[in-house]
Amino acid sequence: MGEPSPTNRKPDILAPAGNKASFLAALAAGAEAVYCGLKLFSARMEAKNFTPEELIPLVELAHDRGTEVHVAINVLLKPDELNPAGEILEYLNREVKPDAVIVQDLALLQLVRQTGFAGEIHLSTLANVSFAAALQLVKQELGVHRVVLPRELNVDEIKTLAQACPPALDLEVFIHGALCYGVSGRCYWSTYLGGKSGLRGRCVQPCRRRYTQNRQTRRFFSCQDLSLDVLVKVLATIPQVRSWKIEGRKKGPHYVYYTVQGYRLLRDQGGDADMRRDALGMLSRALGRVGTHYHFLPQRPQNPVSPDDQTGSGLLLGRIKGSGSRSYLAPREELLPGDVLRLGFEDAPGHRIERIKRSVPRGGRFYIKPAAERPAPKGTPVYLIDRREMALTEMVAGLEAKLRPRVRLKAAGMDFKARLPSQLKKKAKTVELYVYRRSGRARPGSHTGIWLSVESLRAASGRRSAGIWWWLPTVIWPADESQIQSLVRSARQQGGRNFVLNAPWQIALFPASANLNLWAGPFCNLSNPLALHTAQTLGFAGAIVSPELGREDYLRLPRHSPIALGVVSSGHWPLCVSRTIGSELETAQPFDSPKGEQAWAAKYGSEWWVYPNWQLDLSSQKQALARAGYRLFVHLMEPVPAHVKLQKRPGEWNWHVGLR
């Protein structure tokens, strides 16, 4: 059989917008849809983003031109943020009228209903909907209209999900832009080291830094940009993929315009060799990083980790010559007024941003005033990271002139109060749960948990299996779905009835009629009462809450939880879970960060887990947590490689500093 025929409707190109100029550049380029974030509750908090009031004239203009607007409210919500998030939804619905909201937190599904939001619900890639059975669940049980698929999927996996996609559910696929080293929604590196959570849009990108292993200092985790370029023709044959998404809400209008224009040419005229060449030229000059096809072609996967490449985006213009007050750049192409240059890398001496005030011809000299501290040394690379060419500036200005004057309106729905679930009244004894990879000794007065695998299930006898708490993987890829379902069935046949699921959608693998004790695991990232309520409606009896929470959030959460709660009390929590690893990094061997932190990587199944050499430890807070209402205390028992030496250091994570 050949490839399925494309439908008459072409997929939309969804453009990023982190500020007004980029939003207007997306309209000028002809994007069918634009997505943007707010100054609160956005997974790209480093972008300038918008207030709801600022969006009103922009959305009106977009709708006048037939362009949709999707607003991202795609962060983890803390218990005290439900009312502000509801207020924003009410205001968006009443005044801004976007076509969709993009969400990851299960609470937003409840808030959409409570506020009467009329637009569509799109599940963010951070929600990690990664296997076929999950699609039916999110459509039928949660009313989701679109799923943004994880970037780690290859085209065969995308086709598998498309074939399982129920009617009236669309799929959205990333085609261009930055890649995270960690699997979507499974990276805790930034918050573990500095309290700034990637699930809250505040990632400080520790994966981009240099690390040292075996006396080699490299960027072992720094990824190139995704660029599907001509391969998008394959996506065009999958009718369920209705949206091609470009990443880049921190990028300027030049990037937005050129990537949208490039992919429009590839979509509409990709069969013409001249048009294809023009499109590739636009993408090469969009000022992104070096591009990779990543896993898209399963027969020719590309490792995105490039230890020696630059970490930032931009077009290389040359290297600094001379020294001191006579330092200069002889650019490889003309510099224009308004151009923005980056000198070196963020973690290198002399790094800074320069703005061009007057034209410099190709091969001319742009003299660089030395910085007071850490001047850029001779040989430092210089990159063009943003450009405001006259034609684009004029197009953006012309569209800006069409914006209707903004009327100052009352702030968003200040009277909104989220309807919270009632607290679980049932009291129970506290339980200690020790979780092992394959097998572990039973501890007196405690329960045993084991990560579910072929090996661990084989090692468990029938009698012993009945009391085990089986932990499902953090991610289920399409090719693994049938095996995981078979393992679940075998565990049940051996008498198992306690299961910990590490994505809410994994409950689709269990029959609703079975008398089972199903818990949402800590990788479900549940952090507020409405998310817990949604978990209850899906069939969960309990939840092990997000370990990223701070003290006040932990203690507040049980007051309105309709299900039993657990907490990761101690053990090895990963910095991230990844589907790739750099070829130069050795597993089971320690590596060091620039600040002296040490970690190691281990492979389980098809993922690589990166662990710090100190443990999460909330054991000193057990009494306070038990008084608050927590009943299950989880200890993650990870095998430590022989060459890794554990450090004794405070492991209370965000307990004192709070989740930011």
Q: Which residues of the chain have pLDDT under 70?
A: 1-8, 43-47, 309-311, 372-373, 406-414, 462-463
Helix (H, G, I), strand (E, B) or coil at 319: strand
**What single-letter amino acid sits at 45?**
M
The two structure tokens encoding residue 212: 């040292």
376: nearest Cα among 386, 367, 385, 364 = 367
Q: Which domains does the chain show, CATH number per domain?
A: 12-186+204-297+393-400 (3.20.20.70), 315-387 (2.40.30), 431-637 (3.20.20)
Cα-based distances in Å from 560 to 103, 221, 528: 22, 40, 9
pLDDT value for 375: 77
**How far, in Å, CA of 192 to CA of 206, rounded?**
10
**How far, in Å, CA of 435 to CA of 649, rounded?**
22
499: nearest Cα among 481, 514, 480 = 514
Cβ distance 259 to 176 under 8 Å? Answer: yes
pLDDT value for 167: 93
Residue partners of 156: CB distance under 8 A and separation at least 6: 298
The two structure tokens encoding residue 165: 């996609």
**How far, in Å, CA of 475 to CA of 129, rounded?**
9
pLDDT value for 5: 40
Angle at 62 between CA 21 and CA 111, to 5 degrees: 100
**How far, in Å, CA of 193 to CA of 197, rounded?**
10
Cβ distance 196 to 171 under 8 Å? Answer: no
Helix (H, G, I), strand (E, B) or coil at 366: strand
pLDDT value for 580: 95
Residue partners of 391: CB distance under 8 A and separation at least 6: none
385: nearest Cα among 244, 276, 279, 248 = 248
pLDDT value for 1: 33
Neighbours of 534 (CB within 10 A): 22
pLDDT value for 345: 83
**How far, in Å, CA of 426 to CA of 418, rounded?**
24
**How far, in Å, CA of 513 to CA of 644, rounded?**
46
The predicted-structure confidence for 445-487, as pLDDT tens digits, reads as follows: 899 999 999 999 998 876 677 789 999 999 999 999 999 999 9
The predicted-structure confidence for 157-176, as pLDDT tens digits, reads as follows: 999 999 999 999 999 999 99
Question: DSSP letters along 511-567, please?
Answer: -TTS--EEEE-GGG---SHHHHHHHHHHT-SEEE--TT--HHHHHHGGGG-SSEEEE
β-pairing, 241-246 vs 170-177, is parallel
**How far, in Å, CA of 88 to CA of 81, rounded?**
11
What is residue 208's DSSP assignment? Answer: G
